[in-house]
Structure 1
């Protein structure tokens, strides 16, 4: 079988706003106003109407392009359109002495402002046009629950029969290893610490996808690179994650595995997701750890049905993890799309090169799906999002479940708002 470079990326947030409209200009969110009261300063986002759909859909040449040529053209078009849209605002921002700390984004039509005061915000709000000035979104990693340390002999015994740990074996990855390999680049968004050896979350996500020792990885022949979108405490700013989103687009990976989130119904990252999808990148998001109540699906995983794959967590006996967020989304859409092992998953730990630990969370489930997608694309390099989505959802395992208290969109047991279309099975998805 010919080898083709593959990519995966790892890398959340409702923004409820009450908008205060100025007479002839934009709107200021109540949250931002409250932060600026009493002479305080705050970061802010100047959010202009999205131009993504108009720019991309109005250029028929893009539909005939692929690969980096398409990404480069998309980037050029988006930069031109957002630069023109943002120019009047950047001029005023410069006159206010804020240009050096302002970050204009081209993947989404907005400008991040640092340390601004009420006077500057009111000056900007008075400009003509339709736009919003609001507080930036702040996100956090979907945390993994505390787990016990595990020694290498225990791991060796667990993997002796199948050459894989239980989650990797449960989704039938070893059966795929015998026929293909996933080679290439895996990118992860949402790393926490500046030094990789101190980065707990990156270590866990990366090893669940690409780990080789003791069968802890789904696609052990894949490779990865990272974009740091979160700080040492697992929190990230909107600006950091959009910067990562722009960079990811330009790398043209195949899969982006995101284990950050928070809040519900937030659409501020949708232009990034749409850009990835247009470029042929498959976004995978953990659905959050706010279960087991209904309608606890987290953003961005609760967004854009049919444009991303959100993932819930299952246990070794195929029951649903109690912490796994359930749907439906705030808009009523089925969530998550699929589920995967995420409860008591053995993985490498950041404390040492020989340290392993059992941990739980949808942040451990999403990498199982990302690794499965890597294997699927290795077997079928021409597959697109729809092919992967249809194979994963249509050929998933469907455990017997009574976890239907959150309702279901049809008279059948599946799909439902706990497992989605089922727990993934990469062997079945590939027809092996």
Structure 2
């Protein structure tokens, strides 16, 4: 039935000028470079499937995510069939994404792009984005490394919260530059089983040639006094090969977070999905390009958290995807509880308060211990509400120079 509806929708799609579906920046780029890596989006995206899953009840979290993945794959198969066949016939190099209903094509010529937009099911084609990490800001002071809790851990009273839960039973993830998984602060709670994916090189084990991801994971889940949830288990996806991240890799990581695979991308197992994904990358304002991924996460019961950016201190500087409607966007504070001088602040491009978000999840999809540290509505849903800025300035955490290095 779903396939019939999708086919009918595609047959009924109409357009007046195919070239209007090509992003102007892409046309300019093709004139200069002759070829470009492009993303092809399809009519309808993933909205109907995701909203349908959100309105359904399931016996388990795994069943929910498995059904979501299967329905998204079915939609992508129908939506993308004609374009896939064309690309295969013309020996083009491409990769399909079910989570966002898109196709990534490398080395596309203008002739190929113009042929693709002639298909009525194609909604838009743009050049692949390159997204930047939030660059570290030099500390104003320095402290001697030790095993006592970092100032940020004390400031948010994490140690008091640990009396209820220190993260035990929760699987956290980050999409970043990777993690030095042998570091003393994070090695004991790394989940080697379905715990790592590198869409760039499909490396077998976690690695980090930049350091950003090792530092953020230490703050999330590290021991030695640096992590907020040292009892949690962590997994990671390498969305950024250096200080920048490709759109295709970030979407690939979005799929992996929803339904993890082995490091070579095979044998997906949705029961291994983390409970949240923490991200410290982004740029621009009011840009919804990653929303199909975060909406799928929410339907799957995966909490999306994003840095709001380091573009402050002026008003209206909150960055995407942190400024999206249903992600938790987080700003930075210093030891004096002041907003960091560099931290982005709201309002968002559409006027909403950001940092901050309101997300409701089915309570049954979360471990019981998790519910104790989150405000609950008096029904079967869990409300995550945040106007959050939190310790982010001059924070010591793990760095990849060695297994015992901090910075």
TM-score by length of 1: 0.70
| 1:322 equivalenced with 2:341 (yes/no) | yes
Equivalent residue number for residue 189 of structure 1: 175
Equivalent residue number for residue 156 of structure 2: 171
Q: Which structure 1 residue ranges, 5 or more long, are not aligned?
A: 1-20, 358-432
Equivalent residue number for residue 105 of structure 2: 113
**Alpha-carbon separation, structure 1, partners of 2:16 and 2:51:** 32
Which aligned runs of 4 or more in structure 1 are off by greater than 4 angstroms? 58-61, 148-151, 192-195
Q: Secondary structure at the match of 1:196?
A: coil
Shift, 1:180, TM fit: 3.0
Alignment of 1:60-209 (within 5 A): 62-98=56-92, 101-129=93-121, 131-147=123-139, 154-156=144-146, 163-184=148-169, 185-191=171-177, 196=207, 198-209=209-220
Shift, 1:92, TM fit: 1.6
Shift, 1:280, TM fit: 0.8
**Alpha-carbon separation, structure 2, partners of 1:40 and 1:72:** 41
Equivalent residue number for residue 231 of structure 1: 241
Contact between 1:285 and 1:300, CA under 8 Å: does it hold in 2?
yes
Contact between 1:313 and 1:321, CA under 8 Å: does it hold in 2?
yes
Shift in CA distance, 203/258, structure 1 to aligned 2, threshold 3 Å: same
Report Cα offsets for 1:336-365 as digits up to 9, x if no partner. 0111001111112221233222xxxxxxxx
Shift in CA distance, 148/79, structure 1 to aligned 2, threshold 3 Å: same
Shift in CA distance, 41/310, structure 1 to aligned 2, threshold 3 Å: same
Specify which of 231, 242, 247 is matched with residue 251 of structure 2.
Answer: 242
Deviates more, 1:72-81 or 1:249-258: 249-258
Report Cα offsets for 1:19-74 as digits up to 9, x if no partner. xx873576111111111115611111111123423124446883334311111111
| 1:222 equivalenced with 2:241 (yes/no) | no
Contact between 2:333 and 2:393, CA under 8 Å: does it hold in 1?
yes
Q: How many residues align?
A: 324
| 1:273 equivalenced with 2:294 (yes/no) | yes
Contact between 2:308 and 2:320, CA under 8 Å: does it hold in 1?
yes
Equivalent residue number for residue 34 of structure 1: 28
Shift in CA distance, 180/356, structure 1 to aligned 2, threshold 3 Å: same
Contact between 1:66 and 1:279, CA under 8 Å: does it hold in 2?
no
**Alpha-carbon separation, structure 1, partners of 2:220 and 2:337:** 20
Alignment of 1:308-387 (within 5 A): 308-337=327-356, 338-357=388-407
**Alpha-carbon separation, structure 2, partners of 1:133 and 1:258:** 26
Question: Larger helix proportion, structure 1 or 2?
Answer: 1
Shift in CA distance, 49/166, structure 1 to aligned 2, threshold 3 Å: same
**Alpha-carbon separation, structure 1, partners of 2:354 and 2:106:** 35
**Alpha-carbon separation, structure 1, partners of 2:208 and 2:100:** 32
RMSD: 2.3
| 1:295 equivalenced with 2:280 (yes/no) | no
Q: Which structure 2 residue ranges, 5 or more long, are not aligned?
A: 1-14, 180-202, 260-271, 357-387
| 1:23 equivalenced with 2:17 (yes/no) | yes
Contact between 1:347 and 1:356, CA under 8 Å: does it hold in 2?
yes
**Alpha-carbon separation, structure 2, partners of 1:115 and 1:128:** 22
Shift, 1:288, TM fit: 0.1
